[in-house]
């Protein structure tokens, strides 16, 4: 009795059947079977199976003439025969196994494995059905074919006889009190009959796995699917099949041996399987890879084309031929029969890049794709291969879902027009008294990004910060601290005339000291005000000698006391605690300083005159774009504001922005227009809602290092959309597509595109060393931490550059990897440099340079205007390049046909020669072609020689010291914990534009710290 289930017994009658899946003949590809999308999934491989629990009247009779159909019966033990009043308990033959003489008692059980609400309901209905057939239950029987049994029945000994148990689907069946010899007499027979009936299923699974791993790249999702199915089948056959006395046939034993191998796959085995497939594909498509580009693809380029995991990240260094891989991979997928052109989507960062990719595909893959006439009018420009920007992709998705093409806002290409509208909206809001008060308070307290002097490591850093960020008062005075800024603005608003840094009225200068200047002087009251950077403990910032500083404070107090001049001293700790203006107000009252608070209109007029409102409008325009592009709801925005480094300033800015955002949204809605940011947001929404289903099974993304989170969300949604469709059953697809004819066509197209059963793969090409667009929302962590956002990934590397020589590559690589957060890569150059290829050109005295240039005679100084004459270091460098070019032309091996190109690069455009100056330079240097580009604009381009300008410190130096406003920073990806991380990558981009040599133009004073670092790297 102890071997029986303790649950309430379930009794079966003749009228009772237990429904099981009815399985038909197998069909479909290995991919279909392994992905579970075919109608004959691996869990349903048998055919012609009657439902479990077939009535006893349909069973084969005892004593059938055919030996294969002979029925064997398992008798009860003496106790079973006594208690059951029957001789036999079980019948079995080639068709299956039958449980007979099921009486209403506690010795037959049917247990549900999953005690869910549904299974409980089934069990209750089963019991009720049985109980209603008490009068006719003596001949009840349940029949199971062998395919319905999860594995052969097992026999467990008990004192009253063997207990035979087996499971089918979610149920386990047990029959007690069998004869004491039942296991030895019938156990192997049952196992052999089960093996014979399930052999086909086993062999089909093994065969399909072999076909899958040899016919396609073993993706992570496929591996997971195979592993799950192997585990289930392995549990059905082992360990009982290891019994040598069973004498299983050779085909079954071979299949079981392979199943064991599949079950024991190690990471190394999986790598070997993938490598074998890659090598076979490389050999089979060698001719294609040799000829798809003007030069044969390299080994690593070819491998990147073939490897096709669910998520693929190709880290392609500067000049390593990533575009060739994009074109080659698209062509390979079609040439190998894995895709048709409509299955492929290529995403480029901008219009120019997309156009170049389209033209490259037409040129290189035209014969493979067919004639342009054949595909005229199709959406994909590259003869059906869809090449798109993110914005045009969003537009297509919206058009397909809504049925009409949305009207684009004219501001998407007119930033000045957008800023003009913002300015008008702001001026309109300022007319409201409540908004005007908040607006003026923002300018007085939050417009500038406040930094404490105690946060700087040196006095130079502090001075550079104020200089770079142009910290000015309402009057336009450039101050040295935020304490001074607050004092000056308060005095101005109170209508108190003051002079900033006015010389003291009594002469106190000597040979050791300059004339004393007070921070503020009120001439009408002969009152001096000084502000000191002293904290609550009486200490000055670390970079100031505290004793000397304290002595200077005492000296000023004594000076004013001796000369009977009015004096007020204020301190940083008062400013930090919000008490300084109270102290100042009290002191001015003491000295009877009259106040005439400035009215709002006068203050606003001053802000307009100073250009501060224009600056704010430009800032708000950037914030508006980032805010709409971030696709934030109110909760997400509140979270960002709470995490901002400057919560008060950020919150104050968004308080002003909130009505502007609403007005902007209303303007677009009323005009029936859409901006770029809404394109992406709506496209994501439609995909996630299932209103658009991606027809693309191969999604390829260029310049991935520049991607933002919303764009990453868009391509992830596209990938997962295809995956969802590949898992849907045909009936479900038909039902969900029945809404309208247009939607049915859309779903039918999407379903046909995933007919192979494989979900979409993602192929992203980028280089984290060249991630330079954080200011527009790009997040380099989406590349460096790719798997955290997209899941497991297979990474490949292109490490052979065809652009710059090894000497440039060595310096540039060591420079950018000073940031430990950059992914470690080794970039090799096809051209080996024999001498230094990065030169630092230091400025000389102007008159000497002019003489040197004139003597060399390469530039006609009469052709150059005065501004270029001042840039004699530049002209001298161009002369040196001209000499190099002429020298190369004299060599027998010289083959260059076009004029060598020289790029003049700088962080800011205004540092570079203007168009007129550039024309004069090209006229003076006919042997070379000179172009000007900013660092950002040079991305993706290359030249023979590069001259880098503007390598100074200061307001517009490099690296840039300008601080990102907190309200803007709150909407940008988290900044890296490495000083000037993005500026460092920007310099790497500039360095790697050159093929032969890079020249760094550096002044003797105020030179960029990056120049010093490069000099050290060159020495090493």
The answer on whether 323 is annotated among ligand-binding residues is yes
Contacts for 772 with CB less than 8 Å, ≥ 6 apart: 706, 778, 935, 936, 939, 982, 985, 986, 989
The answer on whether 322 is annotated among ligand-binding residues is yes
- Enumerate the β-bridge partners of residue 842: 1002
The answer on whether 321 is annotated among ligand-binding residues is yes
Nearest to 949 by CA among 938, 962, 940, 961: 938
Would you call 480 exposed, middle or buried from its count of C-beta atoms within 10 A (0-12, 13-18, 19+)?
A: middle
The number of angstroms, rounded, from the C-alpha of 791 to the middle of its chain's C-alpha atoms is 11
Length of the chain: 1020
> How far is Cα 574 from Cα 611, in angstroms, rounded to an integer?
30
- Enumerate the β-bridge partners of residue 96: 93
The DSSP code sequence of 58-122 is GSPPTT-SSSTT--EEEEB-HHHHHHHS-SEEEEEETTEEEE----SSTT-EEEESS--HHHHHH
> How far is Cα 721 from Cα 689, in angstroms, rounded to an integer?
10
> How far is Cα 852 from Cα 869, in angstroms, rounded to an integer?
12
The answer on whether 318 is annotated among ligand-binding residues is yes
> How far is Cα 279 from Cα 275, in angstroms, rounded to an integer?
6
| Strands lying side by side in the sheet with 72-75 | 72-75, 88-93, 96-99, 142-144
> How far is Cα 343 from Cα 345, in angstroms, rounded to an integer?
7
CB 761 within 8 A of CB 307: no
Half-sphere exposure of 318 (CA within 13 A, CB side): 30
The percent of the chain in helix, strand and coil, each rounded to the nearest 5, is 50, 15, 35
Nearest to 983 by CA among 948, 1002, 958: 958
Measured between alpha carbons, how far is residue 472 from residues 58, 493, 968 in Å?
Answer: 98, 15, 20
The number of angstroms, rounded, from the C-alpha of 360 to the middle of its chain's C-alpha atoms is 26
Measured between alpha carbons, how far is residue 141 from residues 48, 80, 479, 1009 in Å?
Answer: 20, 17, 98, 90
The answer on whether 316 is annotated among ligand-binding residues is yes
Query: Radius of gyration of the chain from Cα atoms?
Result: 40
Nearest to 179 by CA among 205, 207, 160: 160
The answer on whether 235 is annotated among ligand-binding residues is no
Nearest to 769 by CA among 1008, 991, 1015, 995: 991
> How far is Cα 966 from Cα 963, in angstroms, rounded to an integer?
9
The H helix count followed by the E strand count for the chain is 37, 27
Q: What is the DSSP letter of 337?
A: T
Binding-site members are: 316-323
Binding-site members for ATP are: 316-323
């Amino acid at each position: 009795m102890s071997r029986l289930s303790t649950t309430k017994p379930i009794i079966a009658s003749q009228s009772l059947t237990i429904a099981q899946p009815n399985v038909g003949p197998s069909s479909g590809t290995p991919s279909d079977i392994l992905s579970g999308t075919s109608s004959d999934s691996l869990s349903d491989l048998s055919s012609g199976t009657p439902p479990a629990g077939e009535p006893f009247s349909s069973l084969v009779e005892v004593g059938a003439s055919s030996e294969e159909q002979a029925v064997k019966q398992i008798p009860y033990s003496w106790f079973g025969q006594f208690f059951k009043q029957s001789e036999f308990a079980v019948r079995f033959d080639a068709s299956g196994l039958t449980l007979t003489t099921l009486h209403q008692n506690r010795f037959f059980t049917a247990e549900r494995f999953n005690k869910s609400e549904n299974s409980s309901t089934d069990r209750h209905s089963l019991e009720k059905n049985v109980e209603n057939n008490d009068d006719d239950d003596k001949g009840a029987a349940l029949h199971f074919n062998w395919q319905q049994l999860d594995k052969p029945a097992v026999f467990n000994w008990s004192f009253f006889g063997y207990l035979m148990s087996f499971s089918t689907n979610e149920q386990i069946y047990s029959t007690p009190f069998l004869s004491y010899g039942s296991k030895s007499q019938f156990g192997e027979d049952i196992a052999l009959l089960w093996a014979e009936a399930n052999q086909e299923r086993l062999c089909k699974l093994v065969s399909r796995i072999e076909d899958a791993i040899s016919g396609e790249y073993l993706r992570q999702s496929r591996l997971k699917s195979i592993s799950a199915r192997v585990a289930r089948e392995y549990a059905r056959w082992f360990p009982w099949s290891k019994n040598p006395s069973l004498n299983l046939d050779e085909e079954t034993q071979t299949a079981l041996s392979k199943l064991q191998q599949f079950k024991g796959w190690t990471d190394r085995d999986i790598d070997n399987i993938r490598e074998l497939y890659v090598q076979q594909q490389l050999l089979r498509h060698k001719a294609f890879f040799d000829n798809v580009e003007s030069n044969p693809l390299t080994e690593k380029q070819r491998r990147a084309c073939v490897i096709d995991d669910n998520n693929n990240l190709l880290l392609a260094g500067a000049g390593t031929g990533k575009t060739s891989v994009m074109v080659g991979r698209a062509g390979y997928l079609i040439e190998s029969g894995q895709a048709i052109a409509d299955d492929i989507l290529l995403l480029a960062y901008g219009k120019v890049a997309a156009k170049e990719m389209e033209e490259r595909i037409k040129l290189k893959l035209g014969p493979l794709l067919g004639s342009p006439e054949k595909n005229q009018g199709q959406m994909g420009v590259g003869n059906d291969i869809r090449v798109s920007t993110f914005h045009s992709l969003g537009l297509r998705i919206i058009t397909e879902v809504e049925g009409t093409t949305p009207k684009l806002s004219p501001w998407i290409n007119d930033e000045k027009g957008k800023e003009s509208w913002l300015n008008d909206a702001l001026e309109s809001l300022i007319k409201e008294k409540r908004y005007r008060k908040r607006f003026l308070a923002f300018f007085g307290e939050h417009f500038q990004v406040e930094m404490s002097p105690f946060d700087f490591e040196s006095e130079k850093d502090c001075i550079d910060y104020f200089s770079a960020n142009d910290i000015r008062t309402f009057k336009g005075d450039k101050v040295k601290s935020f304490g001074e800024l607050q004092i000056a603005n308060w005095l101005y608003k109170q209508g108190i005339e003051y002079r900033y840094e006015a010389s003291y009225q009594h002469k106190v200068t000597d040979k050791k000291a300059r004339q004393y200047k007070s921070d503020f002087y009120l001439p009408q009251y002969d009152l001096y005000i000084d502000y000191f950077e002293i904290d609550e403990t009486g200490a000055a910032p670390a970079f100031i000698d505290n004793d000397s500083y304290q002595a200077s404070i005492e000296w000023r107090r004594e000076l004013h006391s001796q000369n009977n001049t009015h004096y007020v001293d204020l301190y940083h700790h008062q400013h930090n605690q919000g008490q300084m203006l109270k102290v100042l107000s009290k002191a001015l009252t003491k000295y009877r300083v009259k106040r005439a608070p400035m009215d709002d209109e006068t203050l606003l007029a001053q802000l307009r005159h100073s250009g501060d409102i224009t600056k704010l409008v430009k800032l708000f325009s950037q914030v508006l774009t980032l805010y709409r592009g971030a696709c934030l709801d109110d909760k997400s925005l509140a979270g960002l504001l709470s995490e901002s480094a400057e919560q008060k300033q950020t919150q104050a800015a968004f308080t002003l922005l909130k009505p502007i955002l609403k007005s902007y949204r209303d303007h677009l809605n009323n005009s029936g227009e859409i901006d770029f940011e809404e394109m992406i947001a709506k496209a994501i929404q439609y995909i996630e809602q299932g209103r658009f289903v991606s027809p693309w099974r191969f999604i390829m993304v260029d310049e991935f290092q520049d991607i933002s989170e919303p764009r990453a969300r868009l391509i992830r949604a596209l990938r997962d959309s295809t995956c969802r469709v590949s898992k849907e059953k045909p009936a479900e697809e038909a039902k969900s597509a029945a809404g309208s004819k247009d939607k049915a066509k859309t779903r039918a197209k999407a379903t046909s595109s995933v007919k192979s059963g494989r979900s979409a793969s993602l192929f992203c090409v980028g280089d984290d060393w060249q991630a330079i667009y954080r200011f527009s929302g790009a997040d380099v962590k989406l590349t460096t931490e790719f798997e955290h956002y997209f899941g497991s990934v297979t990474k490949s590397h292109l490490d052979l550059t065809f652009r710059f020589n090894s000497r440039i590559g060595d310096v540039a690589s060591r420079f950018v990897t000073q940031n430990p957060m950059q992914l470690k890569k080794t970039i090799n150059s096809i051209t080996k440099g024999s001498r230094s290829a990065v030169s630092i050109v230091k400025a000389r005295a102007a008159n000497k340079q002019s003489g040197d240039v004139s003597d060399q005679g390469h530039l006609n100084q009469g052709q150059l205007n005065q501004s270029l004459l001042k840039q004699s270091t530049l002209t001298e460098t161009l002369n040196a390049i001209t000499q190099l070019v002429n020298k190369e032309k004299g060599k027998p091996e010289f083959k260059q046909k076009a004029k060598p190109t020289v790029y003049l690069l700088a962080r800011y455009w205004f540092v570079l020669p203007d168009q007129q100056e550039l024309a004069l330079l090209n006229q003076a240097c006919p042997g070379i072609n000179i172009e000007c580009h900013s660092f950002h604009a040079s991305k993706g381009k290359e030249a023979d020689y590069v001259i880098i300008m503007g390598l100074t410190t200061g307001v517009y130096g490099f690296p840039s010291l300008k601080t990102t406003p907190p309200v803007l920073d709150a909407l940008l990806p988290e900044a890296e914990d490495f000083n000037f991380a993005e500026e460092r990558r920007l310099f790497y981009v500039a360095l790697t534009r050159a093929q032969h040599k890079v020249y760094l133009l550096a002044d003797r004073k105020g030179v960029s710290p990056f120049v010093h670092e490069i000099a050290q790297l060159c020495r090493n």
